[in-house]
Amino acid sequence: MAAGTVPRWESALDTVVVYAQGALCRRLARGTVPAGGQVRVTGLPRSLDPDSLRARVIGASGTRVTGARVEVEAGPHDADRPDTLLRAVERLRDDCAAAQGRRDRQLALIEEISAVRPVPPARKRDDPHRRTPVDAWLELSDFVDERLTRLHSGLRELEEELRRVEHRLTMAVEQLSRASDDAPAAHVATSFGAVLTLDGTGEAEVEVEYGVHGAVWVPAYLLSCRQGEDDGRLLLRASVAQRTGEDWTGVRIALATADLRRRTDLPRLRSARIGRSQPAPVPSGWRAHPAGLNGLFAGYDAAGTRPDAAPAFAGAAVAGPPPPPPAPATAGYGGPPVPGGVEGALPQAYGGGASAAPSEPRTRARPRTGARPAAALAASAPGRAPSPGAPAGPTAPPPPPPTTGPPQPDGAELDYAALVLSGPDEPEGRRGRLFPGSGFDPVTAEHRRRAETVAALPLPGHAVRPRESAGSFDHRFDAAAPADIPSDGTWHTVTVGEIPVGLRTEHICVPSVEQTVYTTLMLSNATAQALLAGPVEVTVDEEFLLTTSLPTLAPGGECRVGLGPAEAIGVTRRTNLHESTAGLRNNTTVLDHRVHVELANRLPVPVRVEVRERVPVTSDTDIRIEEQADWTAPDEDTERHAPGTRLWRVELPAGGTAALDGGYEIRIPAGKALTGGNRRS
């Protein structure tokens, strides 16, 4: 089927899952399956990762996807394309160049007039001296001064005009850079589509899934509470920035803490040896081809060529039974693990001939993150016959003739990440072997580079990236309503939903350090998901109070959030020290410390105040400390405190007061007392 006759199915973006870096998008398309089975799903962004393409048929319609690949088309933009910003930038650049040219011409005139000087005529040797016409000199000087005055006045106007135009140009360029790149600024439009091969008839709905670069998010919260009440509401929000090349308009958003590029291969456990130290063996990067490489494709050749077979693009995954694989379990090369988890033999020039010893041990390559299926890599191998309508690419050179002696691989053949496994449809001398790939095209690389710029965006205040705060767990948060996020590379706020939490208002003061009462909120996580660290905006009685940071809170955990000083609650502290001696021979010094704390509540609601004091601690068994107060030691399970911390918890009614008295005695033997020491501290 020719490329022009492939039916087009318009797709709509349905859901987006934003990860710590990158996103996973799902599009839906519906239509009638044509006779040839090939359709082109349009609307894919330019920054998609071809290796992540997936497709499947939704519903039990009996139709399945047997092939999928990414296809790029190029063409001129529509004349009605809304490129107002681009045209404004081009017009302002022309205005700026014209203003700069007028300024330069004015400077040239000023330089020319400034160079005007009276030049006396040359005098011959026999001529007498002539008198200088002073009036002419003065008239010339007046002319130059008057002319320069007018020129400098015009120069100031031209420079001011140039500054205004440059300012407008800078603002327009900044606005263009922050605008959505859903419609590219180039004069040639490149569109990406997924060419699917369907096996079935009738109506079908297809879901196309792909990964994109250039999307990040950080959590944020909105906490609302009322004075005197122990309940409130915590609203989870997220700041999302994306530059994927498509605007997310009216889509369902989900946020995940996982990393799409995280390695999934298992670590290699090396043996522990006792004895003389031995250097680690250097793994070989080359291995000879297996003897029966051509025989691996006997079943594939016997099955014949399918009439509806379509070449699959690199990385395309197919929902449903795939075509018969080329049994890659026996093709491989040893040495270090091959990036991408690809098993296959290297080119003939890279290894030996097909007559390698079959008794040589074979190793299986370890899979790595982002591994591309063998069938997908086979489709993207150089030298493959292009599909109808696909853009023509450079033809890979034929494999070099076999050589004798040790292999001499070049730098491209040692770049394991760029090696591509040739598929079963390649010529007999290429299939089942690894060859250096051609890499990304410049257009895709430019879109990928622009998409990656969002990772360097400055974070909002108190914001923490999800991977830094999530720790060892991964969670997903689904937004309650669809959202709109343009592809402009700036932060946009998305409301995720309300989180049930427990709130308890507490007032804390440490009068020995500062005679001020502080308001805090004890926040408890009552959900099965952890609350990530991030900024939280606190509103009390529907009035904004402050923005502070919320730490990571595990399920069932508690944390304290400070809200600042409570000016309506007063605290006063007074101390008294009495020194005396005790014992049979007055050989013990007794330091009696008395503490008096007064609290006053000027709020219209009752409050609970926690007063913190500290009792001295000692490691000397001869020094005794006797407490004389009704305070209590804190519970170290909920919060860490300094050694010797003591707590008073007081319930103050509205407009009420309270007085707290406490103290302690320090008994020091006379032989261990410090003469002239500061015993108050």
Tens of pLDDT, residue by residue over 400-418, are 555 555 556 666 666 665 6
Q: Write the pLDDT tens digit of every residue in 228-250.
A: 677 778 999 999 999 888 889 99
Largest CA distance in the chain: 132
Determine which of 166-180, 255-269, 379-393, 559-573 has the lowest per-residue pLDDT on average. Answer: 379-393
Q: Which two tokens stand for residue 509?
A: 């003061």
Among the listed residues 125, 222, 218, 213, the one whose alpha carbon sits nearest the alpha carbon of residue 501: 222
Question: How do beta strands 607-614 and 501-510 pair?
Answer: parallel
Q: Is the pLDDT of residue 27 over 60?
A: yes
- Please state, for a pLDDT cut of 90, what percent of the chain lies above it: 27
Q: Write the pLDDT tens digit of every residue in 500-517.
A: 888 888 899 999 999 999
Whole-model pTM above 0.85?
no
The span from the CA of 284 to the CA of 296, in Å, is 25
- Please state, for a pLDDT cut of 70, what percent of the chain lies above it: 74
Among left, alpha and beta (phi > 0; psi -120 to 50; other), residue 363 is beta
Q: Write the pLDDT tens digit of every residue in 478-493.
A: 998 999 999 888 899 9
pLDDT of residue 35: 86
Q: Please give the average per-residue pLDDT across 265-281, as a whole number.
A: 77
Q: What is the mean pLDDT of the chain?
A: 77
Quote the radius of gyration of the chain (alpha carbons, Å): 40
Q: How confident is the model at residue 285 (pLDDT cuts 50, 70, 90)?
A: low
Q: Is the pLDDT of residue 452 over 70?
A: yes
Among the listed residues 212, 248, 676, 284, the one whose alpha carbon sits nearest the alpha carbon of residue 494: 248
Pick the residue with more confidence: 315 or 584?
A: 584
Q: Which residues lie across from 608 on neighbouring strands? A: 651
The span from the CA of 124 to the CA of 207, in Å, is 100
Q: Write the pLDDT tens digit of every residue in 12-22.
A: 999 999 999 89
pLDDT of residue 209: 94
Q: Which two tokens stand for residue 70?
A: 């990414």
The span from the CA of 316 to the CA of 339, in Å, is 18
pLDDT of residue 391: 42
